[in-house]
Structure formats: structure tokens, C-alpha cells
Amino acid sequence: MGLRDLSLKEEYRSDRENLIEEFFLPCLDNCIEYDRAVEYASLKSLTGYYFGLKNFLTNNVQIRIVTGHRLRTSDLNVLSKLYTKNNAKFALSRNPALEKKYPILNEMIKTNKLKIKIAIPNSEEVYGSFSEKIGIFHDENDDMVAFTGTSNETFDPQNRNFESIDVFTSWNDKSRVDIKTKDFENLWLNKTKNITVYDFDYAVRNNLLNYSAEWVLNVS
């Protein structure tokens, strides 16, 4: 089964659909690549992929994430350890629920199935931080599904915003999907105007990540 076999809508909105169960999970379960540009990549959102992580581990599926440079201190501490050579030797959490997810996240990073890059504005024309919200699923049949409009992928039923997303498919909206795909590739290759994109470990080593009380309270 591929992405084209799913019954996808052009728009999903919280008052009509369950964005996670009706869109994200089916697409994750039927793709081999997932590209994501998002303002905040928290551990909560990364471990949310646990719902489909078994597929990511048993198949050659890759996730590429470009995110802004603002992370919670606790998230950065764990991600930094995950990206070190000895990352498998430390306890990530005492929470039994998380203990099942972090080793899989650790394995995905070690095998390069999860790659994270940091986007930081480099121009006076851009104020604040990187906050683009696009995603692209790519399956083994070379079909693609792109979406815009949400930053929430925690898969937490107790912490979901009211939001909507617009969906484009390569078989019905090829030009739109091509634009989104090109935009993401330019981000990933650091070819986007007003933004510099760094490998996650480089950003950590060079203290490029920021923290402030103003935004940290709003990160889910």
C-alpha cells in the first residue's frame, strides 16, 4: 500500500477531523521518507513518532528535520547525548513510558535514519526565529504528499491545538508538491536566502542554540 491508496482530503481541521489519526499516522505508515520543517523540534514531538517507529527501524525509512534554534534545555541535553559516540550508555529517563521510546530514537540517530538540522536567520530582514511549517511524505512508488500549516506532532491527546492543514498530492497537485519539495531541499542544502542551516551537532558545539523564558513556556 502506498500514499496514493490513502483516502486523503485537501484540508484537515480540528473541528471536523482527527489530524493525527486520519492524516499523520496513515502517511507515516506508508512512506519511506519524511521531510519536515518546523519551528520547534522537541523531544516530545520526536518521540511521538514512536507510533510508526517500528516501520522506520525495519525499513530504510529516513526522517529529515529542519528546525529553529530554540530548544528547551532538557531537550538539548538529551539530544546532545544522543548525538555522541557513547549515547547508548546513559539513562535517558526514569519514566517507563519514555524508556521504550528513547532507545528507538537513539537507534534511529545512530543509523542516520533521523537527521536534524538547525535553521537560524542571518539577515535583518528576518526577525525572531525560523518558523516555517511544511512537511513532505515520499513513498516507494515515488508518490508524494505535502502539507502546510501545523507545528504540532506530539500525538498527545491531552495537548492538541485547534488547527488546520492544507494537503497537496503529487498526483493531483504536482506543481505545489514540487515547490514544497524544492523549498525543503534548498533548506537542507543551506541554499535559502536569509537563513543559515547547520548540522545539529555543529550547532551544539558552537553554542548556536538559544533559550529564553518568553518562548519556552509556549513550547508543547
Q: What are 130's three cell numbers?
A: 525560523
User: Nearest Cα to 135, choosing from 3, 16, 1?
Assistant: 3
Each domain of the chain, given as residue ranges in start order, spans 8-216
Q: Which CATH superfamily is domain 8-216 in?
A: Endonuclease Chain A (3.30.870.10)
Half-sphere exposure of residue 46, counting CA atoms within 13 Å on the CB side? Answer: 29
Q: How far are the Cα atoms of 76, 129, 187, 212 from residue 215, in angstroms, in the given order?
A: 15, 11, 23, 6
Residues of the chain with pLDDT under 50: 86-88, 90, 212-220
Q: How far are the Cα atoms of 51, 127, 172 from residue 9, in angstroms, in the given order?
A: 22, 34, 11
pLDDT of residue 14: 85
Q: How far apart are CA 154 and CA 118, in angstroms?
A: 19
Do residues 70 and 215 touch, judged by C-beta distance below 8 A?
yes
* pLDDT tens, position by position, 8-29: 999 999 889 888 889 988 898 8
pLDDT of residue 43: 74
pLDDT of residue 196: 94
The 3-class SS string of the chain reads: CCHHHCCCCCEEECCCCCHHHHHHHHHHHCCCEEEEEECCCCHHHHHHHHHHHHHHHHCCCEEEEEECCECCHHHHHHHHHHCCCCHHHCCCCCCHHHHCCHHHHHHHHHCCCEEEEEEEECCCCCCCCCCCCEEEEECCCCCEEEEECCCCCCCCCCCCCCCEEEEEECCCCHHHHHHHHHHHHHHHCCCCCCEEEEEHHHHHHCCCCECCHHHHCCCC
